[in-house]
Chains A and B, each alone.
Chain A
Amino acid sequence: MTKDSKVIELEEVAIRFSGDSGDGMQLTGTLFSDATALVGNDFSTFPDYPSEIRAPQGTVGGVSGFQVHFGKNKINTPGDKAHVLVAMNPAAIKANAKFLMPSATIIYDSDSFTEKNFQKAKFATNDPFTELGLFDYTKIGVPITTLTKEALVDSKMDNKAVLRSKNMLALGLVSWIFNRPLDVIEDALKAKFGKKPEVLASNIEVLHAGFNYGMNMEHETPQYLVPSGDIEKGTYRNISGNQATAWGLIAAAEKAGVELFLGSYPITPATDILHTLSERKDLGVKTFQAEDEIAGICSAIGAAFAGDLGVTSTSGPGLALKSEAIGLAVMAELPLVVVDVQRGGPSTGLPTKTEQSDLMQALWGRSGECPVVVLAASTPSDCFYYAFMAAKISLERMTPVILLTDGFLGNGSEPWKIPSMADMPAITTRMAKDPATFKAYRRPDNTLAREWAIPGMEGFEHRIGGLEKDENGAVSHVPENHQKMCEIRAEKVARCVDLVPDLETNGSPEGDVLIVGWGGTYGHLVSATRDLNLMGKKVGLAHFNYINPLPANVANIFSNYKKIVVCELNMGQFVSYLRYEYPQFTYLQYNKIQGLPFSVEEIKENVLKILED
């Protein structure tokens, strides 16, 4: 066998790093993604981890994974199934068997194949591959633990500390297999462990040991070539959805000329927004880690009253706690952005898993007639844009805006062509100008957005609050006034439609089936649509980012297709909303509620079935 026969050229590859939740798999995956970016591949990542910080070692429940999908062309999803699995123990093989491509390569720590670990992973035999039916796979046992120990034989660190570098052995090996440069990884390690020179040195040592092992053992390990592709020219960076959300809000505040205030309480999977914003004191961002979810939003409302862009970030259970305060912001007509990084519910549910089941809560989950604008981001990087737009609508129309992202978007990352602030749309606040004519709830006929007068502005002293008011800002219990004010608040939100771009479609502009989606499922749905089009099927995709108000041209788009199937990660919330808003159409639905993203394959299968019917 010649060396060349071992080099396999692929357009795209998905790798899944998998081990105990303490094995450092998230770091390994992130470092690999960074190296991948510099090679000129597009990529998409998907961290999949348990909610326990250190779940019981060696068990299937404690397995933490990180999948990265990269390729020559545009990569829209982290990949349904992995071409390569890196498994640090038998439990990782068991947990991931169903996420592997047929004939995938499994690289595993052969040192971990012990009686004890088989028992922990609840294997009945000592042959996990046979037991899981993984026959036609390339299985490469690497003594990762032994190699790590050997690499660090001269180190003064104790055994436990030495074993913590195992992930670097795996990373070095995979970097050789996929031809990724080690210098980028080393730079990242230096940034992370710069203050612990011993840890840094050992990590780099082991990283090289892994790389060299691949090189020396090439008769066993295949090497893959994923060429760099035709990606739009520009300056790029890697960005996660939560980071993009945080930065989009900072960008909006800068554009609007106001300060940014975040009131928040830690909650998975939204906490990184708090982390990211709390790092940005250099740009004047104020972050307030509140005593609870309610104080998080209430402090943001207070800041909005005082003239800041008020923001609170949370996930589903936190949104529930904030609902009364959102009502206050609706009544007080203050600018406020509420970010909900959705997770599996109800209750504590699946805190680390993704879902789209807060849609109804975002639309309706409050007392009284309480309309708010609802937006949804659809990729990790476009969280930046939709967070920006949420703030723009909120500031220009004096209304709370709920931005829905999800755990998949929030934790996932992708390369992002860095925009210029000069290209972002202008934001004009409603700051009051004339004390002589100012009245708290006076509003122009077009947008119905009241003026914003903030404490400190002389001559504008006024009172607002949760009680119903008349136009002058006086408390009013007059029956007709309440009806009028309810109608005005609803109409004000409805008129935000003039800031909502028309709905566009991907794939066939008319045809047999229209796939409808919203939010974080975009990557999977657009990939399925593309594949179906390549198969010659007349299928289009209408993907929604503006949920309330909906784009003006929805009915026009929908009427161009014979059938409509609404795909979402819940039991049918958006489809119910569409049935309510556009009852003239018949909707099929495809729902999944497993805490996981869609797979491209299942969407395709479902649409093909619809095409046959």
Chain B
Amino acid sequence: MGEYVYDAKDFKSSTEVRWCPGCGDHAIITAIQRVMAGLGKKRSDYAIISGIGCSSRFPYYMNTYGFHTIHGRASAVASGVKAANPKLHVWQITGDGDALAIGGNHFIHLVRRNLDINVVLFNNKIYGLTKGQYSPTTDRGAKTKSSPFGTVEDPFVPGQLVLGARGTFFARAIDSNVKMSQEILELADNHEGTSVVEVLQNCVIFNSGIHDVITKADDREDRQIYLKHGEKMIFGVNRDKGLVFEKGKLKAVTIGQDGYTMEDILVHDAEDPDLYMHTALINMAWPEMPVAFGVIRSVKAPVYDQAMEEQIEGIQAKRKNTCVDDLLHSGNTWEV
């Protein structure tokens, strides 16, 4: 807990929220407002940066500093904000099109540099604001307005991209579970470096129900696994299923069947620098495997904005030039 006391509504701006009724974004903004209120950090130190898309309207609805920028470039703008003033709490709100299509380059380089920025990536596998074209996370074969006969391309798995770019923090959440989102977003904020939280989000107009297969109330417990660092990888309505590692692969088993006991179930280590297990967890897909939620990876690495600040401080500590006049007279000069 920080020193400032807020209520979630302190983070609501007076601007009318204009997302569609039933849109998953409403739940995500609620989660973020609650998290920010709970963190107790000074409100005026928040800078929320977005690009273009439905999710990118987010800053207007927050009573913090906010900058709604241009399509795909939020990562670059946010990098400039954070590098200019590392004391700020910089959050980037983005979507699957904004971050992974037009902004793909900026996104991977933000992750690679590891600036201390929290990225919340709303993934609804569709373009909403332009009314229903396929995105880089749309499943192969999906019929959309721009793929009336089905797409002929495979989607990105955002977590793979993050790990491939040397990401230090990746988590997955879902809009409909506000409590889980809050827990994960708090951990993301706590991480030093770039955190990427992929929130599976439902676009009620153009892609409604896209995540239903893993989110329906009756069997979601069997189709999702909520990973927590240091805890056994257990899931299922009866908490009797778990993950084991066999022949170089993950396998979902029922405890007490086929000779599997609790001893065999893996313990989640989000802080393992090795990519192998985290990649395997990110890749798990229904129906073969449950889909992984929670913080999958959270490792320590040098943080760009801190390193930049330290480098400047180090050089200034032993500098010869203390002002521009010194600089202008440095090196070879002569008198006439």
Taking the complex as formed, is B185 at the interface, i.e. its CB lies under 8 A from any CB of chain A? no
Give Cα distance in the complex from A86 to B85, angstroms: 52
Taking the complex as formed, is A554 at the interface, i.e. its CB lies under 8 A from any CB of chain B? no
Q: Once the chains bind, are B69 and A281 in contact (CB under 8 Å)?
A: no
Q: Once the chains bind, are A457 and B44 in contact (CB under 8 Å)?
A: yes
By beta carbon, the residue of chain A nearest B109 is A291
Q: Once the chains bind, are A237 and B80 in contact (CB under 8 Å)?
A: no
Q: Once the chains bind, are A305 and B77 in contact (CB under 8 Å)?
A: yes
Q: Once the chains bind, are B80 and A247 in contact (CB under 8 Å)?
A: no
Give Cα distance in the complex from A280 to B240, angstroms: 61
List B contacts of A247 (CB < 8 A): 324, 327-328
Taking the complex as formed, is A499 at the interface, i.e. its CB lies under 8 A from any CB of chain B? no
Q: Once the chains bind, are A306 and B323 in contact (CB under 8 Å)?
A: no
Interface residues on B, range: 35 or more
Taking the complex as formed, is A300 at the interface, i.e. its CB lies under 8 A from any CB of chain B? yes
Taking the complex as formed, is B70 at the interface, i.e. its CB lies under 8 A from any CB of chain A? yes
Q: Once the chains bind, are B328 and A284 in contact (CB under 8 Å)?
A: no
Taking the complex as formed, is B161 at the interface, i.e. its CB lies under 8 A from any CB of chain A? no
Q: Once the chains bind, are A292 and B105 in contact (CB under 8 Å)?
A: yes
The residue among A38, A295, A324, A419 with the most chain B CB atoms within 10 A of its own CB is: A295
Complex interface bits, A307-341 against B, C-beta within 8 A gives 1, otherwise 0? 11010000000000000110110001000000000
Which of A227-235, A369-377, A571-579 binds B?
A227-235
A295-B73, A306-B84, A462-B65 given; A455·B45 CB < 8 A: yes
Give Cα distance in the complex from A187 to B331, angstroms: 11
Q: Once the chains bind, are B60 and A463 in contact (CB under 8 Å)?
A: yes
List B contacts of A460 (CB < 8 A): 44
Q: Tell me the minimal C-beta distance from B334 to chain A in angstroms.
A: 5
Q: Tell me the minimal C-beta distance from A12 to chain B in angstroms.
A: 17
Taking the complex as formed, is A467 at the interface, i.e. its CB lies under 8 A from any CB of chain B? yes
Q: Tell me the minimal C-beta distance from A456 to chain B in angstroms.
A: 6
A231-B336, A421-B323 given; A281·B311 CB < 8 A: yes
Give Cα distance in the complex from A418 to B328, angstroms: 7
By beta carbon, the residue of chain B nearest A288 is B83
List B contacts of A417 (CB < 8 A): 336
A34-B332, A295-B109, A298-B73 given; A456·B85 CB < 8 A: yes
Give Cα distance in the complex from A281 to B318, angstroms: 11
Interface residues on A, range: 35 or more
Taking the complex as formed, is B49 at the interface, i.e. its CB lies under 8 A from any CB of chain A? yes
List B contacts of A346 (CB < 8 A): none
List A contacts of B321 (CB < 8 A): 282-283
Give Cα distance in the complex from A503 to B59, angstroms: 45
Q: Once the chains bind, are A235 and B335 in contact (CB under 8 Å)?
A: yes
Complex interface bits, B302-317 against A, C-beta within 8 A gives 1, otherwise 0? 0000001001100110
Give Cα distance in the complex from A38 to B336, angstroms: 9
Taking the complex as formed, is A245 at the interface, i.e. its CB lies under 8 A from any CB of chain B? no
Taking the complex as formed, is A259 at the interface, i.e. its CB lies under 8 A from any CB of chain B? yes
Please pick, from B73, B85, B316, B336, the residue contacting A294 in the complex, using a CB distance under 8 A: B73
Give Cα distance in the complex from A259 to B86, angstroms: 13
Taking the complex as formed, is A475 at the interface, i.e. its CB lies under 8 A from any CB of chain B? yes
List A contacts of B73 (CB < 8 A): 294-295, 298, 325
Q: Once the chains bind, are B69 and A328 in contact (CB under 8 Å)?
A: yes
Give Cα distance in the complex from A295 to B76, angstroms: 5
Q: Tell me the minimal C-beta distance from A468 to chain B in angstroms.
A: 12
List A contacts of B43 (CB < 8 A): 461
Taking the complex as formed, is A137 at the interface, i.e. its CB lies under 8 A from any CB of chain B? no
Complex interface bits, B48-75 against A, C-beta within 8 A gives 1, otherwise 0? 0100100000011011111111100101
Give Cα distance in the complex from A466 to B59, angstroms: 12
Taking the complex as formed, is B325 at the interface, i.e. its CB lies under 8 A from any CB of chain A? yes
By beta carbon, the residue of chain A nearest B52 is A466
Q: Once the chains bind, are B327 and A298 in contact (CB under 8 Å)?
A: no
Q: Tell me the minimal C-beta distance from A340 to chain B in angstroms.
A: 19
A284-B312, A307-B85, A455-B45 given; A465·B68 CB < 8 A: yes
Q: Once the chains bind, are A291 and B105 in contact (CB under 8 Å)?
A: yes
By beta carbon, the residue of chain B nearest A238 is B332
Taking the complex as formed, is B87 at the interface, i.e. its CB lies under 8 A from any CB of chain A? yes
A34-B332, A325-B73 given; A463·B66 CB < 8 A: yes
Q: Once the chains bind, are B106 and A291 in contact (CB under 8 Å)?
A: yes
Please pick, from A238, A251, A461, A463, the residue contacting B68 in the complex, using a CB distance under 8 A: A463
Taking the complex as formed, is A299 at the interface, i.e. its CB lies under 8 A from any CB of chain B? yes
Please pick, from A236, A295, A305, the residue contacting B336 in the complex, using a CB distance under 8 A: A236
Taking the complex as formed, is B88 at the interface, i.e. its CB lies under 8 A from any CB of chain A? yes
List A contacts of B60 (CB < 8 A): 463, 465, 475
A250-B324, A418-B333 given; A306·B315 CB < 8 A: no
List A contacts of B87 (CB < 8 A): 456
Taking the complex as formed, is A154 at the interface, i.e. its CB lies under 8 A from any CB of chain B? no
List A contacts of B106 (CB < 8 A): 291, 294-295, 298
Query: Which residues of chain A from 400 to 445 have any CB-CB distance to chain B below 8 Å in the complex?
Result: 417-421
Taking the complex as formed, is B47 at the interface, i.e. its CB lies under 8 A from any CB of chain A? yes
Give Cα distance in the complex from A306 to B45, angstroms: 10
Give Cα distance in the complex from A385 to B127, angstroms: 47
Taking the complex as formed, is B79 at the interface, i.e. its CB lies under 8 A from any CB of chain A? yes
A284-B316, A463-B60 given; A306·B81 CB < 8 A: yes
Q: Once the chains bind, are A299 and B77 in contact (CB under 8 Å)?
A: yes
Give Cα distance in the complex from A456 to B320, angstroms: 31
A298-B80, A467-B68 given; A251·B324 CB < 8 A: yes
Taking the complex as formed, is B156 at the interface, i.e. its CB lies under 8 A from any CB of chain A? no
List A contacts of B238 (CB < 8 A): none
Q: Once the chains bind, are B105 and A254 in contact (CB under 8 Å)?
A: no
Q: Once the chains bind, are B336 and A455 in contact (CB under 8 Å)?
A: no
By beta carbon, the residue of chain B nearest A334 is B67
Taking the complex as formed, is B6 at the interface, i.e. its CB lies under 8 A from any CB of chain A? no
List B contacts of A290 (CB < 8 A): 76, 109
Q: Once the chains bind, are B44 and A464 in contact (CB under 8 Å)?
A: no
The residue among A237, A238, A302, A460 with the most chain B CB atoms within 10 A of its own CB is: A302
A299-B76, A303-B80, A458-B44 given; A328·B70 CB < 8 A: yes
Complex interface bits, A268-301 against B, C-beta within 8 A gives 1, otherwise 0? 0000000000001111101010111011001111
Taking the complex as formed, is A500 at the interface, i.e. its CB lies under 8 A from any CB of chain B? no
Q: Once the chains bind, are A283 and B327 in contact (CB under 8 Å)?
A: yes
Taking the complex as formed, is A37 at the interface, i.e. its CB lies under 8 A from any CB of chain B? yes
Please pick, from A234, A281, A304, A474, the residue contacting B15 in the complex, using a CB distance under 8 A: A474
Q: Once the chains bind, are B324 and A283 in contact (CB under 8 Å)?
A: yes
List A contacts of B311 (CB < 8 A): 281
List B contacts of A459 (CB < 8 A): 44
Q: Once the chains bind, are B83 and A261 in contact (CB under 8 Å)?
A: yes
Please pick, from B52, B59, B63, B80, the residue contacting A301 in the complex, using a CB distance under 8 A: B80
Taking the complex as formed, is B203 at the interface, i.e. its CB lies under 8 A from any CB of chain A? no
List A contacts of B320 (CB < 8 A): 282
Taking the complex as formed, is A365 at the interface, i.e. its CB lies under 8 A from any CB of chain B? no
Q: Once the chains bind, are A455 and B312 in contact (CB under 8 Å)?
A: no
Taking the complex as formed, is B329 at the interface, i.e. its CB lies under 8 A from any CB of chain A? yes
Q: Tell me the minimal C-beta distance from B161 to chain A in angstroms.
A: 15
Taking the complex as formed, is A549 at the interface, i.e. its CB lies under 8 A from any CB of chain B? no
Taking the complex as formed, is A40 at the interface, i.e. its CB lies under 8 A from any CB of chain B? yes
Q: Once the chains bind, are A298 and B333 in contact (CB under 8 Å)?
A: no
Taking the complex as formed, is A263 at the interface, i.e. its CB lies under 8 A from any CB of chain B? yes
Q: Once the chains bind, are A419 and B84 in contact (CB under 8 Å)?
A: no
Besides A463-B15, A463-B66, A463-B67, 20 more A-B contacts (Cβ < 8 Å) are A37-B332, A235-B334, A235-B335, A237-B334, A280-B327, A282-B320, A288-B79, A292-B105, A294-B106, A295-B73, A295-B106, A299-B80, A305-B80, A327-B70, A419-B328, A421-B325, A455-B65, A455-B88, A458-B42, A465-B67
Nearest 10 pairs of A and B residues by beta carbon: A302-B80, A465-B68, A299-B80, A298-B76, A282-B319, A303-B84, A295-B76, A463-B66, A302-B77, A306-B84
18 residue pairs A–B, Cβ–Cβ below 8 Å: A34-B332, A237-B328, A261-B83, A261-B84, A283-B321, A290-B76, A290-B109, A302-B83, A303-B81, A305-B67, A328-B70, A454-B65, A456-B87, A461-B43, A462-B65, A464-B67, A467-B68, A475-B15
Binding site for B on A (CB under 8 A): 34, 37-38, 40, 184, 187-188, 231-238, 247, 250-251, 254, 259, 261, 263, 280-284, 286, 288, 290-292, 294-295, 298-308, 310, 324-325, 327-328, 332, 417-421, 454-467, 474-475
